[in-house]
Chains A and B, each alone.
Chain A
Amino acid sequence: MRLEGKVALVTGASRGIGREIALELAREGADVAVNYSGSEARALETAEEIKKLGRNAIVIQADVSSSESVERMVKETIGAFGKLDILINNAGITKDNLIMRMKESDWDDVININLKGVFLCTKAVTRQMMKQRSGRIINISSIVGVMGNAGQANYVAAKAGVIGLTKTSAKELASRGITVNAVAPGFITTDMTDKLPEEVKAEMLKSIPLAKLGEPADIARTVIFLAGEDSRYITGQTLHVDGGMVM
């Protein structure tokens, strides 16, 4: 186990990639605060599974785009576990449409949760991590934030923004022993990608050199690497976990 005795907070951990990350952190020995926005039942399920692995887990409802609820979430985590070593900024939504058809509110919602949410959570944990003189912040971006994607202007802008935010946080916090990195998943099987039509999926497979979809576990394993001691000399980077889609 590589993360024994560590405390992690994972946003958007009730399902998909976030859930897998939370479970993998627990398998590596970390206690986990499971944040969710709407899916309480599934968040509780994730927490139950973590407890079955012999680790502690708490469940916290919070909207990452609200500074008040983010501050409460971080306080509750530190209150429950006494410290905070690892923050995984994973919460995200999509509201896809062509720019010509995209509503202003769809733009705002996605930017608020996927980009501003990362800023607010990062800001809220820095105090604790600076005091500890150590910390790991891992932001889940997306490969489309690097390459662009028709129909996802809001999502792509947010995910590209996360990469810039990752680099800036890394520079600001490096002197205090805190590393900040991003993971950019490619095409991963989740609820989010299951909604895509078959022909879109077939078309995407053609652009993946490893010729298959990724799994949430592929992202979770990368996050574990970035959360542990093995990556101590890496900061400000974005790791592409995409089967070679973007090189």
Chain B
Amino acid sequence: MADVLERVTKIIVDRLGVEESQINLEASFKDDLGADSLDVVELVMELEDEFSMEISDDDAEKIGTVGDAVNYINSKM
């Protein structure tokens, strides 16, 4: 679990240029981390690569916060 969060955090820091301290499970990509819609699409793409999984468009739409992403990945691993 911690490992997933760590890996997700690293991707978010790289992609969005935010501080690690800003990232927590409740943080919303758009509202708290300054991502636009396209950034979120790209984040999901990178998560797919990082965790070698396919995230369907329907599922991707439900991922709004760091916690959503971590929970989704854990549920598929």
Q: Which residues of A contact B (CB under 8 A)?
A: 127, 130-131, 172, 175-176
Contacts and interface: CB of A to CB of B under 8 A. Distances in A.
Given A127-B45, A176-B38, 7 more contacts: A130-B38, A130-B41, A130-B42, A130-B45, A131-B45, A172-B38, A175-B38
Contacts of A131: 45
The secondary structure that dominates the B interface is: helix
Interface string B28-59: 00000000001001100100000000000000
A129 to B, nearest CB: 12
A168 to B, nearest CB: 13
Top 4 A-B pairs, shortest CB-CB distance: A127-B45, A130-B42, A175-B38, A172-B38
Contacts of B38: 130, 172, 175-176
A175 B37 CA distance: 12
Contacts of A130: 38, 41-42, 45
Nearest to B39: A175
9 contacts: A127-B45, A130-B38, A130-B41, A130-B42, A130-B45, A131-B45, A172-B38, A175-B38, A176-B38
A127 B41 CA distance: 9
Nearest to B36: A175
A130 B41 CA distance: 10
Nearest to B46: A131
A172 B41 CA distance: 12
Nearest to B57: A123
Nearest to A130: B42
B14 to A, nearest CB: 13
Interface in B3-24: none
Contacts of B45: 127, 130-131
Contacts of A176: 38
Nearest to A176: B38
A131 B46 CA distance: 9
A84 to B, nearest CB: 15
A172 B42 CA distance: 13
A70 B41 CA distance: 20
B12 to A, nearest CB: 17
A62 to B, nearest CB: 20
Contacts of A172: 38
Nearest to B42: A130
